[in-house]
Structures are given as C-alpha cells and as structure tokens.
A and B are shown apart, each in its own frame.
Chain A
Amino acid sequence: MSVTLDSDRIVIAGVARVEDAEPLANALIASPDRTVDLSACTDLHGAVLQVLLIFAPNVVGSVGNPSLEPWLTPLLSPKFQAKPET
C-alpha cells in the first residue's frame, strides 16, 4: 500500500498504482482538507492523477521522477502555492 494516512496528511510513497486510487479518494472524501504529500512518490497511475485533479487537495512535494515531474507540476500547480508543512 503506497497511500498512508499520517495525521492530517496523506502520504503517497513509491509507485502509486491503480488500486491506490480508491483509498486516496476515500481519504479525501472523509476529510477534504487533508494535504497530499508526493515527495516520496516515484511514479503514479492515471487513476491516481485523476483523483488528485478531481478532488484538488493541497499537494506538497513533487514526484521524484524526471519523466513525470515536469508535466505533473503545472497540472497540480495551483496547489503548489501552499507552503510545505513543517
């Protein structure tokens, strides 16, 4: 499972697969204000991206994958304005 709940943050770690879309969506439905932390994520499936686009949570960190990061950053950019929590 690469989606884990860490107090009010949802951490996506490693490769987020299609089956991770559901727990991610459920976590965001339960409390829409949660922040999603992508800094440990190396790759993600379209279904996971869809959840991020539809629920538009605050996103921190960026995917550590040079073939994905340049495309993903502008897509999720409005949310990047939020300061990473410390």
Chain B
Amino acid sequence: MDELLEQFLIEGPELAQRAGQDLLALERTPNDAALIDSAFRAIHTLKGSVGLFDLAPMGRVLHSSEDVLDAVRKGRLAATGDLIDLLLAVVDRTETWLEDLRREGALGGAADKDADRLVARLSDYLGGAEDDRATAKAAPDVDWVEALRQRHPDARGRLTAVRYRPDAPAFFRGDDPLAIARAVPDLRAMEVTTGPADLSADYDPFLCRLEFELLSGAGAEQVTDAFRLVKDQADIAMSNDSATVETAPAAVPSEKTGAASNSLRVDGRQVDALADQADQLVIAKNALLGLADPDGELARIQAMIDRLTTDLHRGVMRLRMTPLSPVLRRLERQARQLAADLGKAVDIEVRGHAVEADKGVVDGLYEPLLHLVRNALDHGVEDPTERRTAGRADRATLSIRARVDGDEVEVEVRDDGRGMDPARLREAARARGLGDRIDLDGLSDQAALELIFTPGFSTAASVSTVSGRGVGMDAVREAITGLGGRIAIDSAPGQGSAVTLRLPLTVVMTRVLIVEAQGERFGLLLSEVQETLRIRAEEITPVRLGSAIVVRETVLPYVRLGDLVSPGVPAPIDSGLTILVVEGAEGRLALGVDSVHQRLDVVLKPLSGLLAAVPGATGTTLLGDGNLLLVLDVKVLVR
C-alpha cells in the first residue's frame, strides 16, 4: 500500500475519534472554547489529509464541517444540540468511510449521495451564519496558492505551496519557525508577515506572530516531511503553472506533547503474539519444575526463571491494557441514534472513558453493552407521553458508567425507565414453559429478575427493529462469563433498571496446586488450600451421612475428591489418605486426594463447550507436558 495512504489510515480514525470525543464533550459544556478549537483542528487536519487522496465526497463533507466549526469558533454560530448531532453524524460517516477505505480501498458506492446530503444539511447552518462573509469562504481555500504564485512569477513549473502559521507559543517550545521554513527543500520563494502588534512596552517578543508562505520545487512528500513536527500548522498544496491546484493541505496530526512522543504505535497482533509466547514460556517453565531436584542448583535457577517469567508476563499483560473510551464513545453515539430512531427523549450520560482493561476484555465488551443499551432504550425507557402520564419528567436518563474496582472493571448500564416487575417476569416464564423446570413461585424477586438471563426468555411483547433480534440477555451473560466476568441486575417497577458487569482487568496468573485422584490430575486454586496432611485410614470416622476426621482437635467433614469428580466409582481402601484442608462454601473441610504434586502458576482459560458443564470446574490450562489440566473451584464443587 502507498505509504502516505497507510499513514493516513492510521491517523484518520484517530482524528475522527478525537473530533467525536470533543463534540460529545461539547454537548455537555456547549461554550467550551478549548473543545471547539480541538474539534476544529481535528476536522481541519483530517480534511487536509483527505486532500492528498482521491476522496472527493469525504473532502466536501469535511470542508463544510470545518466551515461550520469555524463559524462556531468565531461565535457566529451557536453550538446547539442539533448542530452537534449533525457534526457527530459527519464524524460517524467519516469513520465508516475510513473503514471502507481500509477494507476495499475506496469509499462505499453511495458516498456521493451521502456526502451531498450531509453538505446540504451543513449549508443550512452556514446559510444563516455566513451572511457577513458572503461567498468568500465558499470558494475553496486554495486561493492563497494562486495569489502566492502570481506574486512570484519567476518560480515556475510544478510547485508545492506551503502556508505555515506557527502557533503563538512556538518560541517558548523552542521552535524556530524561520529555521523550519528555511529547511524546506528547493525553496523558490519565501514570504514572511506578522500580525498586527502593539508597539508599546507591552509587546511580548516571545509570542510568535509570524506567518510564512513558501513555494518549493520539491514534491509534496518531501515538503510535508520538513513540517513533520508542526504538521497541524502547515497547509501544503501542489500547484501547476496553470495555477490549477491539484490537492489541498497535507497536514496530519499535531501531537506535540511529550507524552505522545513517548508512545509507540504497535500492531495489536504483535502484542497478542508476544502475550501468547509469554504464556507458553510460563508453561515451559512449569515443565522444568518436574525435572529439578528440590535442593539442587537447578531448583535455584528455576526459582529465578519463575520470578522473571512472572514479571515478563505481567509486563506483557500491561501492554495489552487499552482504554475503554473508543467503546464508550461508539456506544454513546449508537445510543443517541437509537433514542432518536425510537422517538424517545433520553439524556445519555457516559463516564469512565479513562478506564483501562485488557484489550480482549475491552474488545469483547462492545457487543454485550450495545445489547444492554438497546434493551434499556427499547424496553426500559418509555415514550415521553407514557412518562408524562406516569407523572415523571419527559426526558429519561440512560447512564453508562465504567470504573475500576480492585482488580476488576465494573460497567453499569442504568436507565430510569419503567423497570421490571418480578410478577410479570414469573408469568412470562410460565408462558414460555419454564415453569416445568423452575419453581417459579418459590423464586425470590431478585431470582425472578434473573430469569431474564435464562435462554429463550424475552419479555418484549413485540419484536421491534431495534432489539429482539433473537439475541437475548442469555447471550449477554454468556459473552460476559466468556470474558471471565459476572453480570448482575437490579430493577424495580417504575424506577428503572441497572445491569452491572464486572470483568477482570487483566488475564491473571492463577496459582494452582496439582493433585491426583482416581488416577486423574486436577488443579485446585492454591488460595483455597490451607494445609496438606497425611492421615491413616482408621482416622476417618463415619458419621451419619458421611465421614469426618479430627485435625488438631477440630472435627472437619471429610470428602474424597475422587467421589466428587467420579461419583459411584468405588475407591480403593488406601485412596484419599492425603488430605487438603480447604475453604469450602460452608466452612473448612478435609478433601481426600491420592497424592499432591507441584504448585504452578497458570494462565487460566475460561471453560467453553462441553467443559463448561463440568461441575465445579473453573477453567483449564495447558501443562508443560501438553496435557490439559482441569482446575476446580472447591467452593462450587463442595456444596
């Protein structure tokens, strides 16, 4: 792929995202000049880059958007909710176009029509605001190129024109705009002007007021390169003798802050591959454990490798941390669109853009969250009329909030709509024949709410276009548990609903103890094992329904692991004589196993398919010898 295009496909979406972010923030604080400026710059820069490629429809839309934002910036136009919605639609469309461009190398077929529609809507706003400027701005802003060339008739041929306007703090930053301008290759003409200045003692010599217009015989790429550190301050255009301007600015992003220069753009797949290798290293390290004599030199080295691999693994996992903001922003926009489509008046509130989690978790969150948002807007939030009848404010509120809680990320989707009625949920479940399997009347109200997670359960009376496409809340729960998370619901009739998702921040290393029972190896969560003891068979005392043993004057229930994992298989008399004192769901108990093997740090993979049905299993991991180890959760296993 063309190098410029490749660069553009990386930077374009970032710029669109920034513009979207600024516009959403602007909606909350409509007169924030910094936000308007930032959105304007993002759109301006994007428009500049678009000019380098054959993307006329996109260029037209961005050009009009830039005009509109400029008018807002100069106070000629108010940033109303409608206007911001329109600009958000532009950003959305731009993102879709960029995606099309990346996938198919061109804008979608309807690009021209879509562009016309957006430009027409944008012009409506400009029509009112631009009276004072008449049509001056309507002409492409490449007039300066022609004017510049006319002032320098000696410079002939195909030239690159630059308009370089350093920002006011340029000198402070240590930039020398004159040196930057002089560094342009094959410079043919240079004009320098300054804005008006106060010639009194108040003149601040460190505030940059310089403006440069340059002509160069070098190509756009080389000239762009000369301005690579101040990209957003330079408009670059190609022009021929005939003074027809071929392409417009080549300005690309403006990350000049120290933080940005420290960051690296890495293909996510490379990080994934690295993470996989780190996982494998953990497995290989574990294989080493079996070979080492516990007191030997090898064991000492093994312990060191152990520590290093753990650090490495943690480091790689940290690399995978990505912010939730892109997901939240997409959701916010979708929610806005949905609310409009459904004719519902909803204030949408999103918090927690800065929250970070593992890339896998973040990527996996969008679909389930979108489903929750759809449900809330479609089923939860009432029409304005219904709300009025119920004596409530016309506008409903939907909030999506993310926050970090310990080593988990919590995302809550809350609406103040009609809420869910446990009685109605019980009825609906009965109507769907779930009463045969579940004692519906015996369910607590909370348990009745959780019926919505039952496969095949849906309370929507009719299937609308928004939700109810056969994806139920059971799919949402499945997606969340697949990510290692949990889901909870809270709702009351007339008070709205809240669904809370809790997910792990990272893919964590888990310490397990490997034990053997009935000839099979299992992993137990080491955090649940308190001690290991060897007992004699006669120490096991039969009590009414089971057995017990006395450990340090405390009577503990005794259970053979073998009996739990393969019930009904008679155990040999000498089995289960190694006991683990573990913390079960109802207090401590003695778990009998045949033998105890080593401790391991493993990356627990969530269960899938048939394995998910194994009682008490919490995950699997691959052992150094290539065998799969099933890791059991004693709390679930022993009830």
Query: Is the Cβ of A50 less than 8 Å from the Cβ of B182?
Result: no
Provide the residues of chain A in CB contact with B201, threshold 8 Å.
29
Instruction: Check if B145 is an interface residue, CB within 8 A of chain A.
Output: no
Q: Is the CB of A71 within 8 A of B206?
A: no
Q: Give residues 39-83 of A contacting B (CB, 8 Å).
A: 44-47, 49-51, 53-55, 67-68, 71, 75
Query: Is there contact, CB below 8 Å, between A46 and B194?
Result: no
A25 at interface by CB-CB < 8 Å: yes
Answer yes or no: A21 CB below 8 A from chain B CBs. Answer: yes
Smallest CB gap from B201: residue in A: A29
B566 CB to closest chain A CB, in angstroms? 81
Distance between Cα atoms of A45 and B181 in the complex (Å): 11
The answer to whether A22 has its CB under 8 Å from any CB of chain B is: yes
- Residues of A contacting B170 in the complex (Cβ-Cβ under 8 angstroms): 46
* Stretch in contact with the other chain, from B134-142, B171-179, B246-254, B305-313: B171-179
Is A18 an interface position by the 8 A CB rule?
yes
Tell me, rounded to whole Å, the shortest Cβ–Cβ distance linking A27 to chain B: 11
**How does the 8 Å CB contact mask read for B143-175 relative to A, with 1 for contact and 0 for none?**
000000000000000000000001000110001
Task: Report chain B residues within 8 Å CB of A22.
Answer: 205-206
Judge whether A75 and B205 touch: CB under 8 Å: no
Cross-chain contact of A45 among B176, B190, B199, B200 (Cβ < 8 A): B176
- Alpha-carbon distance A50/B206, docked complex (angstroms): 10
| Residue in chain A with minimal CB distance to B187 | A71
Q: Which of B179, B199, B206 has a CB less than 8 Å from the CB of A55? A: B199
Contact with B along A14-33 (1 / 0, CB 8 A): 00001001101100010010
Contacts of A47 in B (CB 8 A): 171, 176, 205-206, 208
Total A-B pairs in contact (CB under 8 Å)? 62
Interface residues on B, range: 20 to 34
Asked if B34 is at the interface (CB within 8 A of a chain A CB), the reply is no
CB neighbours (8 Å) of B208 from chain A are 46-47, 50
Give Cα A75–Cα B175 distance, bound, in whole angstroms. Answer: 21
Which residues does chain B contribute within 8 Å of A29, judged by CB atoms?
199-201, 203
Pair A67/B182 contact, Cβ less than 8 Å: yes
Instruction: List which B186-209 residues lie within 8 A (CB) of chain A.
Output: 187, 190-194, 197, 199-201, 203, 205-206, 208-209
- Distance in angstroms between the alpha carbons of A44 and B203 in the assembled complex: 19
Please pick, from B191, B192, B199, B203, the residue contacting A49 in the complex, using a CB distance under 8 A: B192
Verify if B210 is at the interface (C-beta below 8 Å from A): yes
CA distance A45 to B175 in the complex (A): 9
**B192 near A44 (CB under 8 angstroms)?**
no
Interface size of A by CB at 8 A reads 21
Q: Known: A53-B192, A54-B199. Contact between A46 and B171, CB under 8 A?
A: yes
Task: Tell me, in angstroms, the Cα distance from A29 to B201 when the chains sit together.
Answer: 6
Contact B205 A49 (CB under 8 A): no
User: Which of B177, B197, B200 is within 8 Å of A46, CB to CB?
Assistant: B177
In contact, A25 and B205 (Cβ under 8 angstroms): yes
Question: A68 vs B190: C-alpha distance in the bound complex, in angstroms?
Answer: 11
CB-nearest residue of chain A relative to B189? A71
Are B178 and A44 neighbours in the complex by a CB distance under 8 Å? yes
Q: Which residues of B contact A44 (CB under 8 A)?
A: 178
A54 to chain B minimum Cβ distance, whole angstroms, is 5
Decide yes or no: A18 and B171 within 8 Å by CB, A29-B203, A46-B208 being known contacts: yes
A-chain residues with CB within 8 Å of residue B175 when the two chains form the complex: 46
Nearest A residue to B200 via CB reads A29
Q: Nearest chain-B residue to A23 (Cβ)?
A: B205
Q: How far is the CA of A51 from the CA of B203 in the complex (A)?
A: 10
Contact B178 A46 (CB under 8 A): yes
Shortest B226–chain A CB gap in Å is 14
A51 contact from B176, B187, B205, Cβ within 8 A: B205
Contacts A47-B208, A49-B210: A71 and B176 contacting too (C-beta < 8 A)?
no
The minimal Cβ–Cβ distance linking B229 to chain A, given in whole angstroms, is: 14
Q: How far is the CB of B298 from chain A (nearest CB, A)?
A: 63
The reply to whether A53 and B193 contact each other, CB–CB distance below 8 Å, is: yes
Chain B CB within 10 Å, residue with most, of A25, A46, A47, A75:
A46
Cβ B210 vs Cβ A71 within 8 A? no
A21–chain B nearest beta-carbon distance, Å: 4
Once bound together, how far apart are the Cα atoms of A75 and B211, in whole Å?
Answer: 12
Q: How far is the CA of A2 from the CA of B359 in the complex (A)?
A: 56
- Are A50 and B209 touching (Cβ within 8 A)? yes
The CA of A5 and the CA of B197, in the complex, are separated in Å by 24
| CB-based contact A54/B203 at 8 Å | yes
Docked pose: A14 CA to B427 CA in angstroms:
91
Closest approach, in angstroms, between the C-beta of A26 and any C-beta of chain B?
Answer: 8
Residues of B within 8 A of A51 (CB): 205
In the assembled complex, the Cα of A22 lies from the Cα of B207 at a distance in Å of 11
Q: Which residues of chain A come closer than 8 Å to B194, judged between CB atoms? A: 50, 53-54
Q: How far is the CA of A49 from the CA of B194 in the complex (A)?
A: 10
**B190 contacts A71, CB within 8 Å?**
yes
A54-B210 Cα distance, complex, nearest whole Å: 10
Tell me how far the C-beta of A41 lies from the nearest C-beta in chain B, rounded to whole angstroms: 13
Residue of A nearest to B192 (CB): A75
A22 to B252, CA, bound (A): 33
With a cutoff of 8 Å between Cβ atoms, the chain A residues found around residue B210 in the complex are 46, 49-50, 53
Known: A25-B203, A29-B200, A29-B203. A54 touches B209 (CB 8 A): yes
Q: List, sorted by A's number, 27 A–B pairs whose CB atoms are closer than 8 Å.
A: A21-B171, A21-B206, A22-B206, A25-B205, A29-B200, A29-B201, A32-B199, A45-B179, A46-B170, A46-B177, A46-B178, A46-B208, A46-B210, A47-B176, A49-B178, A49-B192, A50-B194, A50-B205, A50-B209, A51-B205, A53-B192, A53-B194, A54-B194, A54-B197, A54-B199, A71-B190, A75-B191
Given A32-B199, A47-B208, A53-B192, 7 further pairs, Cβ under 8 A: A18-B171, A18-B176, A21-B171, A29-B203, A45-B176, A46-B177, A50-B194
Q: Which 10 A-B pairs have the closest CB atoms?
A: A46-B178, A21-B205, A46-B177, A25-B205, A71-B190, A54-B197, A53-B194, A22-B205, A47-B171, A46-B176
